[in-house]
């Protein structure tokens, strides 16, 4: 009878272990491989591979390990934590080779997931700017971030060299994995309610079913906190502080930009000369605002009342498509009345587009503004009301592809070759001892005198040269701010901003024509 009772107990223990392992593997294991392959294979192929190969292999492996541990958990001399002890010695080396390949897949999933999370956090303003390399011209999610890749390598080496014990490393990994599972279960309940529009009772049942098991694993992992499990928690707090400080500083900086935008009424009160000396040339002012006039403009003209005869507020935006067609590259509009010669341009680039070459970009930008002037005159002649503020913008193609509109030619270009068979009228700027620039404008429709004068002034400014004006802000706290706020802004955010990457398009500006204007933001 006693023997029968012992055999029954030996059977009950592995059954309970198998049930727990079944639920555990169903929710988590194998998801790493699916996540890594999601950008390379279709969903149907991943479902077939996971259902008929990955999942049965996982269940068999953990069932065997659970049965081995249930039989050898009493004898301490035979009990050793590890998967390979339960594997028969004859097939141990092949299983080791398969495990190494599985570790490669799992690490690739972690690296890919880290790249994706960092990219999304950076786009939302929760992480400092890093260099993002898109490795695919078709799939937006296939990216590579060199800084994060090197950081992961250094962290792996630091943990391995620091612990020098697989037991401590497994404790750290176990707490990290079960914490991810617990957080995923909580977020999944929100997905069931908010996204899938299911009953709240279903979300509660899901959370209770999987959450109760995960809480048991989580509590068991916390027992090993001092034996290596503290590492993922410490790293989590470090990254949490970095993300919070960066987001807080970025939010305060953006609020300062919005609150200190120059109103159009202030601009109109200055008159056509803007209350400053308008020197020859074209000034290109970079701003992150798509509407309004940035505070850096008023800061500059207040301290140095001189500016270029033509001003363009440039905003460069990256869109989640591989390439932006040249005819949709620029979104051009006017700020204030025509005699002010103020324009706004939003340049849109895909994640696989080469950012602006200085020569071609200048040519495309000037031609886009000229085409906007011509098309605006056409709308006025057709009876369409044109707004004299920055509320109206139009998509204008680049000079290289916009064959129906205005094109620009230099002295060393054959005009007849560019004009083709259509008639073209040449508008030249006044004689200056510089490289001569010409606009080729179609004969029909006719352009009135005011538009011609505006085009001539634009050409004159282009011949005089383009100056790229970049704003460089220093974010500081106001007097009387709390100690925690001063530490976050004056030290934390300032350190992250100085050591993070700047906009990639800023590197394309020629150094000889770039002017950086500094301004202190009191937040």
Distances in Å between the Cα of 409 and the Cα atoms of 417, 455, 485 are 11, 14, 55
Strand-pair category, 143-144 with 133-134: antiparallel
List the structure tokens of 258: 């919005």
Q: For 140, phi and psi rounded to 5 degrees?
A: -70, -25
Distances in Å between the Cα of 509 and the Cα atoms of 299, 317, 364, 469, 470 are 22, 16, 15, 10, 10
Count of C-beta atoms within a 10 Å radius of residue 130: 17
Q: What is the pLDDT of residue 245?
A: 94
Count of C-beta atoms within a 10 Å radius of residue 486: 15
pLDDT band of 326, cuts 50, 70, 90? confident
176 burial level (CB within 10 Å; 0-12, 13-18, 19+): middle
What order do you get walking across the sheet with 424-428 strand by strand?
407-410, 437-442, 424-428
List the structure tokens of 520: 């202190």
Q: What is the pLDDT of residue 26?
A: 42
Are 521 and 471 in contact, with CB atoms under 8 Å apart?
no
Q: What is the pLDDT of residue 414?
A: 42
- Pairwise CA distance, residues 303 & 329, whole Å: 34
pLDDT band of 180, cuts 50, 70, 90? confident
Q: What is the pLDDT of residue 21?
A: 44
For residue 482, the cross-strand partners are none
3-state secondary structure 97-154: HHHHHHHHHHHHHHHHHHHHHHHHHHHCCCCCCCCCEECCCCCCCCEECHHHHHHHHH
Residue 495 has pLDDT above 50, yes or no: yes
pLDDT band of 150, cuts 50, 70, 90? very high
- Pairwise CA distance, residues 54 & 64, whole Å: 16
Q: Across residues 491-497, what is the average pLDDT?
A: 90
Residue 241 has pLDDT above 80, yes or no: yes
- H helices of 164-199, in order, are 166-190
413: three-class secondary structure by DSSP? coil
Pick the range with the lowest mean pLDDT from 82-86, 336-340, 476-480: 82-86
- Pairwise CA distance, residues 446 & 382, whole Å: 12
List the structure tokens of 28: 């988590």
For residue 210, the cross-strand partners are none
Residue 34 has pLDDT above 70, yes or no: no
Strand-pair category, 393-396 with 466-476: unpaired
Residue 266 has pLDDT above 60, yes or no: yes
**DSSP-assigned letter for residue 165:** -
pLDDT band of 38, cuts 50, 70, 90? low
- Pairwise CA distance, residues 439 & 399, whole Å: 11
pLDDT band of 154, cuts 50, 70, 90? very high
DSSP assignment of 56-89, as one string? HHHHHHHHHHHHHHHHHSS-TTT----SGGGS-G
Closest CA to 332 of 363, 295, 293, 376: 376
Q: Across residues 252-276, what is the average pLDDT?
A: 75
Residue 418 has pLDDT above 60, yes or no: no
312: three-class secondary structure by DSSP? strand
Residue 45 has pLDDT above 90, yes or no: no
Would you give the distance in Å from CA 502 to the centre of its chain? 13
- Pairwise CA distance, residues 107 & 152, whole Å: 10
Q: What is the pLDDT of residue 445?
A: 54
Q: What is the pLDDT of residue 357?
A: 61
- Pairwise CA distance, residues 314 & 298, whole Å: 16
- Pairwise CA distance, residues 415 & 440, whole Å: 8
Taking the whole predicted model, whether its pTM rises above 0.95 is answered as no
Q: What is the pLDDT of residue 17?
A: 45
Residue 330 has pLDDT above 50, yes or no: yes
Residue 481 has pLDDT above 50, yes or no: yes
Are 116 and 143 in contact, with CB atoms under 8 Å apart?
yes
287: three-class secondary structure by DSSP? coil
pLDDT, one tens digit per residue, over 368-409 is: 888 888 777 555 555 444 444 445 666 765 544 444 555 655
Strands (E), 305-399: 306-319, 330-334, 342-350, 393-396
Largest CA distance in the chain: 114
Pick the range with the lowest mean pLDDT from 37-46, 301-310, 403-412: 403-412
pLDDT band of 76, cuts 50, 70, 90? low
DSSP assignment of 28-41, as one string? TTTHHHHHHHTTTS
Count of C-beta atoms within a 10 Å radius of residue 247: 16
Q: Across residues 99-121, what is the average pLDDT?
A: 82
The overall average pLDDT reported for the chain is: 75
Q: Across residues 113-136, what is the average pLDDT?
A: 85
Q: What is the pLDDT of residue 301?
A: 75
Q: What is the pLDDT of residue 82?
A: 61
* 258 Cβ contact partners less than 8 Å away, ≥ 6 residues apart: 289, 292
Q: What is the pLDDT of residue 247?
A: 93
Count of C-beta atoms within a 10 Å radius of residue 242: 15
In terms of pLDDT, which residue wins out, 32 or 498? 498
Q: What is the pLDDT of residue 415?
A: 37
Roughly what angle, to the nearest 10 degrees, separates helices 146-163 and 92-123? 130
Q: What is the pLDDT of residue 108?
A: 79
- Pairwise CA distance, residues 293 & 264, whole Å: 8
State percent of the chain over pLDDT 90: 10
Pick the range with the lowest mean pLDDT from 29-38, 113-122, 441-450: 29-38
**Whether residue 445 has a cis bond before it, omega within 30° of 0:** yes
Closest CA to 29 of 212, 217, 294, 246: 217
28 burial level (CB within 10 Å; 0-12, 13-18, 19+): middle
Q: What is the pLDDT of residue 246?
A: 93
């Amino acid at each position: 009878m006693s023997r029968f009772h012992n055999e029954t107990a030996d059977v009950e223990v592995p059954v309970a272990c198998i049930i727990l392992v079944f639920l555990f593997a169903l929710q988590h294991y194998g998801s790493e491989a699916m996540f890594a392959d999601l950008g390379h294979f279709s969903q149907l192929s991943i479902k077939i591979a996971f259902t008929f190969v990955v999942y049965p292999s996982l269940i068999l492996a953990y069932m065997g390990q659970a049965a081995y541990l249930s039989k050898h958990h009493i004898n301490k001399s035979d009990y050793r934590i590890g998967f390979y002890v339960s594997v028969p010695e004859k097939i141990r080396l092949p299983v080791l080779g398969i495990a190494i390949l599985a570790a490669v897949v799992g690490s690739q999933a972690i690296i890919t997931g880290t790249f994706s999370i960092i990219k999304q956090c950076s786009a939302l303003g929760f992480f400092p700017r890093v260099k993002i390399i898109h490795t695919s011209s078709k799939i937006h999610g296939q990216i590579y971030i060199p800084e994060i890749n090197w950081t992961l390598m250094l962290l792996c080496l630091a943990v391995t060299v620091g612990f020098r014990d697989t037991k401590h490393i497994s404790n750290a990994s176990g707490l990290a994995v079960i914490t991810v599972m617990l957080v995923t279960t909580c977020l999944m309940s929100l997905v069931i309610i908010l996204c899938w529009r299911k009953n709240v009772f279903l979300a509660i049942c899901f959370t209770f079913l999987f959450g109760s098991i995960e809480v048991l694993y989580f509590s068991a992992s916390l027992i090993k906190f001092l034996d290596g499990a503290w590492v993922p928690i410490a790293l989590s707090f470090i990254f949490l502080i970095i993300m919070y400080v960066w987001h807080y500083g970025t939010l305060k900086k953006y609020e300062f930009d919005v609150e200190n935008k120059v109103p159009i009424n202030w601009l109109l009160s200055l008159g056509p000369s803007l209350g400053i000396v308008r020197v020859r040339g074209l000034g290109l002012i970079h701003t992150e605002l798509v509407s309004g006039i940035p505070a850096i403009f008023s800061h500059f003209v207040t301290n140095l009342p001189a500016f270029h005869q033509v001003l363009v507020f440039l905003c460069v935006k990256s869109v989640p498509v591989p390439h932006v067609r040249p005819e949709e590259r620029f979104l051009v509009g006017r700020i204030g009345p025509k005699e002010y010669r103020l324009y706004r341009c939003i340049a849109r680039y895909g994640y696989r587009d080469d950012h602006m070459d200085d020569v071609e970009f200048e040519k495309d930008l000037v031609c886009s503004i000229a085409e906007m002037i011509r098309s605006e005159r056409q709308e006025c002649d057709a009876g369409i009301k044109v707004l004299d503020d920055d509320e109206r913008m139009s998509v204008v193609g680049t000079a290289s592809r916009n064959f129906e509109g205005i094109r620009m030619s230099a002295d060393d270009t054959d005009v007849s070759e560019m004009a083709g068979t259509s008639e073209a009228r040449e508008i030249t700027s006044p004689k200056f001892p510089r490289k001569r620039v010409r606009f080729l404008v179609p004969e029909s429709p006719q352009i009135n005198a005011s538009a011609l004068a505006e085009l001539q002034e634009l050409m004159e400014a282009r011949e005089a040269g383009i100056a790229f004006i970049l704003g460089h802000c220093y974010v500081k706290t106001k007097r009387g701010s709390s100690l925690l706020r001063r530490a976050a802004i004056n030290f934390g955010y300032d350190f992250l901003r100085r050591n993070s990457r700047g906009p990639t398009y800023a590197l394309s500006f020629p150094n000889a024509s770039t002017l950086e204007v500094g301004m202190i933001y009191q937040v």
